[in-house]
Every structure is written in structure tokens, then in C-alpha cells.
């Protein structure tokens, strides 16, 4: 199925995970791919008025089910051959918590993964910033596979398709960080 990317990006072929069980880890380890993940379940939409990035009490946060979902995603990734990863996250608390619960060690904050929900005019600029960041990841050592935890609006702007809570999107990219094709992975069952 072909979809047109939002905000003027090219159309990509979106598939529903036809790859083998070890392909996620193998492809990320081989380079030329990034894994984007939407934060785990955080009830609601957007953030409350007046929220502040550095204050989790003012933001929409993970539910108990969302925390379980994030842990399950980390276990699932390991079962797919992803033993080591470098995890980057949006500075929003629900993304940082998801990233930490994947349990791959320290998490780095990356501004290009920030939400622009409600400020859609920033979409093209945000997509360009993410593309530039992804291009720089081409030089990451192969044993530190790139996992990027972000928001639905960012995934949609970059790949042309949204993502449900804890859904993962494996993106093959060119040297300029432009997405070439996308394979979606449904959230693994928590528990």
C-alpha cells in the first residue's frame, strides 16, 4: 500500500513486518537503518495547557500499562537479535520513560525527536532536523544500533504514517538521512 507522506515528503512503501525474526537486529547492526518507536501508552492527546518540558507533573505521562508496554518492547527487541543499542529520545517525559524502560543503558536526549503537536507549521523544519540527525547516525558504530523514541506526529512527518503506542518503525535510510522504505512492527504484548 502506498501512502503520501505528510508535509511534502516523498511517498514510501509501508509494509506490515514481513521480515524474519532476526532481521530487526541484523538490519540495524548492518547500518543504513534506524528504528523509530512511539512512546508507550500515555492516556490522552497532546499535553495539558501550560505544560513544561522539564516538569513531568505538567505533562501527559505513561500509565502503568504503558510502563509494562515499554519493558515488553525492550524484551521483544532483544528476542529479535538487538542485544546492544544506542537510544535517543524526545525530551518529553513519556518518551524518556519509554526509552529508559527499554533497558539499553543511558538515553540521550535529541531535540529533533520533540513533538510539534499543535504547532504543525514546524513540521517541515522538524522533519529536516530529524533527517540531518539520522544522516549523522550513519557514523555510529555498528554495535550501537540506533533506536529513536519519539511521538506519533514526528514519525508521521518523517515516514508518512503514524504509529500507535509503542509501535516501532524500521526505516531504511540513505546517506542524507532520507527514508527509503519502512517496515512497521506492532507493539509487543505486555506481560
Where exactly are the structural domains of the chain? 2-43+56-185
Q: How many CA atoms lie within 13 A of 15 on its CB side?
A: 10
Average pLDDT of the residues in 81-106: 96
Question: Alpha-carbon distance 104 to 2, whole Å?
Answer: 33
Average pLDDT of the residues in 110-117: 95
- pLDDT tops 50 at residue 21: no
What pLDDT, on the 0 to 100 scale, is given for residue 142?
A: 66
Residues whose CB is less than 8 angstroms from the CB of residue 99 and which lie 6 or more positions away in sequence, other chains included: 87, 88, 89, 107, 147, 149
Of 97-106, 120-129, 163-172, the poorest mean pLDDT is in: 120-129
CATH number of the domain located at residue range(s) 2-43+56-185 in this protein: 3.40.50.1240
- Its pTM stands at 0.87
Per-residue pLDDT band for 1 (boundaries 50, 70, 90) equals very low
Share of the chain above pLDDT 70, in %: 87
pLDDT tens per residue, range 39-59: 999 999 888 888 999 899 999
Residue-averaged pLDDT of the chain: 86
- pLDDT tops 60 at residue 151: yes
- pLDDT tops 90 at residue 140: no
Amino acid at each position: 500500500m502506498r501512502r503520501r507522506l505528510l508535509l511534502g515528503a516523498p511517498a514510501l512503501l509501508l509494509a506490515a513486518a514481513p521480515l524474519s525474526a532476526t532481521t530487526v537486529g541484523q538490519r540495524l547492526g548492518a547500518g543504513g537503518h534506524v528504528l523509530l518507536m512511539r512512546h508507550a501508552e500515555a492516556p490522552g492527546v497532546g499535553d495539558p495547557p501550560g505544560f513544561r518540558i522539564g516538569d513531568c507533573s505538567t505533562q501527559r505521562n505513561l500509565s502503568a500499562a504503558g510502563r509494562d508496554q515499554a519493558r515488553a518492547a525492550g524484551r521483544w527487541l532483544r528476542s529479535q537479535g538487538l542485544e546492544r543499542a544506542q537510544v535517543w529520545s524526545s525530551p518529553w517525559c513519556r518518551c524518556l520513560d519509554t526509552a529508559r524502560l527499554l533497558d539499553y543503558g543511558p538515553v540521550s536526549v535529541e531535540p529533533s525527536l520533540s513533538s510539534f503537536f499543535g504547532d504543525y507549521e514546524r513540521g517541515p523544519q522538524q522533519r529536516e532536523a530529524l533527517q540531518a540527525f539520522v544522516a549523522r547516525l550513519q557514523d555510529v558504530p555498528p554495535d550501537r544500533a540506533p533506536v529513536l523514541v519519539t511521538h506519533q506526529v514526528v514519525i508521521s512527518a518523517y515516514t508518512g504514517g503514524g504509529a500507535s503506542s509503542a509501535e516501532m518503525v524500521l526505516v531504511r535510510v540513505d546517506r542524507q538521512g532520507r527514508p527509503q522504505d519502512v517496515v512497521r512492527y506492532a507493539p509487543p504484548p505486555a506481560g
